[in-house]
Structure 1
Amino acid sequence: MGGAVDLLLSRMVALQEELEVTGDPARFFLGTYLRTTQAVRMALDDGRFEDPAWVAEWDVDFAGFYLDALEAYRLDPDSAPDPWRRAFGAARTLPPEAHVLLGMNAHINFDLPQSLVRVIPDDEFADPDLLASRERDHERIDGVLASRVAAEDAELVRVGGRRTTLDRVLAPANRAASRLFLRESRRKVWANTAALHEAALRGSGAYERRLGQLEALAAGRVADLLRPGPVLLRLAVHGFGVTLPA
């Protein structure tokens, strides 16, 4: 169990070192993700999940969507999914926190439902008790993420994040807002996962159409994430996640 996550961490560390050398702004999201994955690794060791073996499998599969997109973009930008092209192609002059939000949007709103569909087989979707267990472990990740909010905010300041006097005053509210919209987005992810699974049961064509809708929705969030103003408070009110239409 731990071995697969440790290999994932090694892959992330190697990529992070490359991005640091070139000054690629993708290093900001990868750094955040690396530290979060280390926290998940500790939570696995601490027995915080109902099915740690499944969570470890899911953690590695989920991260693969992002790492594969990053490596694909570096070779050929057009080969990456639209939400990731927008994240990786964002202006280098944006503050670190903006790059992190763009990465979170692509990875949570677009990648996460795909990964859950892949690591929850059809028979588990058909088993209400087992599916409920999977959902509870999915929600427990929120606790790991929430525990990182303050430390990640401090890390973004350290690497050059912009903080006005108003930002410093709003810091406690922004941290609370971050925890709120992370929970909100995960609820929507679970609903989108069910929608993708239902589409997959109808065939690859139906699945690809739904995935295309999800890709467009996640790409469409970018403009709002980059709109001037207190973005974290705005997300807490209006939401960070996307919802596939019925």
Structure 2
Amino acid sequence: MTEAVAAVVARMEALLAPLEAAGDPARCFLGTYLRTTRAVGVALARGRFEDPEWVAAWDVDFAGLYLDALEISRHSPDAVAAPWRRAFGADPGLRPEAHVLLGMNAHINYDLPQSLLAVIPPDDFASPSLLDRRRRDHERIDDVLAARIGEEDVALQGAGGRRTPLDRLLAPVNRRASRTFLRESRRKVWANTSALHAARMQGEAAYAVRLADLEAASAERVADLLRPGPVLVRLALHGFGVTV
């Protein structure tokens, strides 16, 4: 694990402790994200990426968007973007899985294209070979996430996730569904990053409009995430990502 990623992990741990002590539902997504960031650190150390230095810088930037939003929301709930307002303001009585999905929606659908844009400067978009390297490393994160699905399911049960007999029956299906919708959302994230880059090249006003479109689409996604029924299967069939 690089020093920068280790610092992010330490920041997450410091933020998680009081949330767990208070039983704050924000602990659900932060706990999942902390374990995932540790796993990314291990993957970096094992040479799983083509450009580990770039992946580490991206991982730090990406995590910072969420952690900053989390800290700001504690004292100024209306100061964060709409997808995060929906996630942080969700009914505390929702199942832990729902809180995780709301966090994933805000962080993947809204934050991730912005973070990729921050670590892929305009000149890099002009190099097809370099851009392909970035895309491949972006997709390799799916392997890290897929390896975490079973353990995260167990962790969420420990956080108070209620399992009905139907939940237990659907567990293998849900795990396959999670892998499917994560791949789908990552493809859409890459497309949205390209759209944001095109807007960036047109100027600040064009970029602000396209980013507002992404914020609105991500916030609207919440309604489907909270709709009754087998949400993971539904996401695998109809998609988790958004498109601008």
With the shorter chain as reference, the TM-score category is: over 0.9
1:29 aligned partner = 29
Name the amino acid aligned to 1:219: A
Q: Distance in 2 between matches of 1:148 and 1:215?
A: 27
Q: Distance in 2 between matches of 1:18 and 1:93?
A: 19
Q: Structure 2: give runs of 5+ residues left out of the alignment.
A: none
Query: Where do residues 147-158 of structure 1 align in structure 2 (5 Å cutoff)?
Result: 147-158=147-158
Query: Where do residues 1-246 of structure 1 align in structure 2 (5 Å cutoff)?
Result: 2-244=2-244
Name the amino acid aligned to 1:89: G
Following TM superposition, by how much is the alpha carbon of 1:20 offset from its aligned partner in structure 2, in angstroms?
1.0
Name the amino acid aligned to 2:150: A
Q: Distance in 1 between matches of 2:88 and 2:163?
A: 23
- Aligned pairs, number: 244
Q: Structure 1: give runs of 5+ residues left out of the alignment.
A: none
Q: Write out per-residue CA displacement over residues 16-59 of structure 1, whole angstroms, 9 at most, x where no aligned residue.
A: 00211221100000000000000000000000000000000000
Identity of aligned residues (%): 69
What is the TM-score with the length of structure 2 in the denominator? 0.99
Q: Distance in 2 between matches of 1:155 and 1:23?
A: 15
What is the TM-score with the length of structure 1 in the denominator? 0.98
- Moved segments of 4+, more than 2 Å: none
Q: Write out per-residue CA displacement over residues 204-244 of structure 1, whole angstroms, 9 at most, x where no aligned residue.
A: 11001000000000000001000000000000000000001
Q: Distance in 1 between matches of 2:181 and 2:162?
A: 21
Indicate the RMSD between aligned Cα atoms, in angstroms.
Answer: 0.7
Q: Distance in 2 between matches of 1:40 and 1:62?
A: 12
Q: Distance in 2 between matches of 1:2 and 1:195?
A: 31
Name the amino acid aligned to 2:86: R
Following TM superposition, by how much is the alpha carbon of 1:86 offset from its aligned partner in structure 2, in angstroms?
0.3
Q: Write out per-residue CA displacement over residues 142-177 of structure 1, whole angstroms, 9 at most, x where no aligned residue.
A: 000000000001111111112110110010000000
